[in-house]
Structure 1
Amino acid sequence: MSQRPSVMFVCVHNAGRSQMAAGFMTALSQGQVEVRSAGSAPADQINPVAVEAMKEVGIDITANKPKILTPDAVEASDVVITMGCGDVCPYFPGVRYEDWELTDPAGQGIETVRQVRDDIRGRIEGLLAELLPAKA
């Protein structure tokens, strides 16, 4: 792993789960982790309910745009967290992969999206403790 670890979050549409995870990692790592997110079939925009749920905890993801998953971005990452994208994520030796089973917030109400958001935050805090143990 490089001096500044890099983490990539991947879900199908890159509009909800992966965007919330990237938002938390960016905010909670305070720039100590390079953060990427992408999707296998990116949506046109971020899920507005996910944006609302993140605003409730002081994280603004409104400027984010869904991006397409590329092999180069995966290969450049130390850790790749998948969230329901199946087998479309390219595999590279030396990259750590984890699959987080999370409810898809697409089409869900704010209560469900809050639960997903809070689940993601807990997982991000755990991952940060691993990546930056001296800082945790």
Structure 2
Amino acid sequence: MAAAWLTHLAGDRVKVRSAGSDPGASVNPAAVAAMAEAGIDISAEIPKILTTDAVREADVCVTMGCGDTCPVLPGKRYLDWELEDPAGQGLEAVRPVRDAIRALVEGLIEEIAPGPAAPDENTRLETPGR
């Protein structure tokens, strides 16, 4: 959801990669539904494993409860966003996580890639993002 928000709100001002230290086989259906409510389609996304190369290429690494399983390289900026894990949760439980992630992403964008105002939350994308 964070990568989708970042892509949606920052557009081409940032390059976004999404990966996890222990990704599931598919995207959580409740997360897909929650993001669809915000006009963002993540249904075609495929979870990917986080690699050292991906971290090496990043300027900022945002983790969410990754702990010591994520690669840590010197000279990288790390942010750990403590959020409820939406895995296995229904739509009602995922909505507040979605909204908290959006707020964190908006703050990050203001810090690393300020620009035009974010699109209205009802704006729909033509291409999937994550």
Query: What TM-score does the superposition give when structure 2 sets the normalisation length?
Result: 0.86
User: 1: CA distance between counterparts of 2:40 and 2:116?
Assistant: 21
Q: Which residue of 2 aligns with 1:82?
A: 63
Runs of 4+ with >6 A deviation: none
Whichever structure has more strand as a proportion of its residues is 1
Matched, 1:52 2:33: yes
Paired residue type of 2:26: Q
Q: Which residue of 2 aligns with 1:97?
A: 78
User: 1: CA distance between counterparts of 2:39 and 2:114?
Assistant: 25
User: 2: CA distance between counterparts of 1:133 and 1:25?
Assistant: 12
Segments of structure 1 that go 5 or more residues without pairing to the other structure are 1-19
Deviation at 1:51, TM superposition (A): 0.1
User: 1: CA distance between counterparts of 2:11 and 2:41?
Assistant: 14
Structure 1 pair 38–27 and aligned structure 2 pair: CA distance change class (3 A) = same
SS in 1 for 2:62: strand
Q: Which residue of 1 aligns with 2:42?
A: 61
Structure with more contact order per residue of length (Cα contacts < 8 Å, sep ≥ 6): 2
SS in 1 for 2:19: strand
Query: What TM-score does the superposition give when structure 1 sets the normalisation length?
Result: 0.82
Deviations 1:51-74 (A, max 9, x none): 000000000001110001100000
User: 2: CA distance between counterparts of 1:50 and 1:43?
Assistant: 13
Deviation at 1:41, TM superposition (A): 1.6
- The number of aligned residues is 117
User: 1: CA distance between counterparts of 2:74 and 2:52?
Assistant: 12
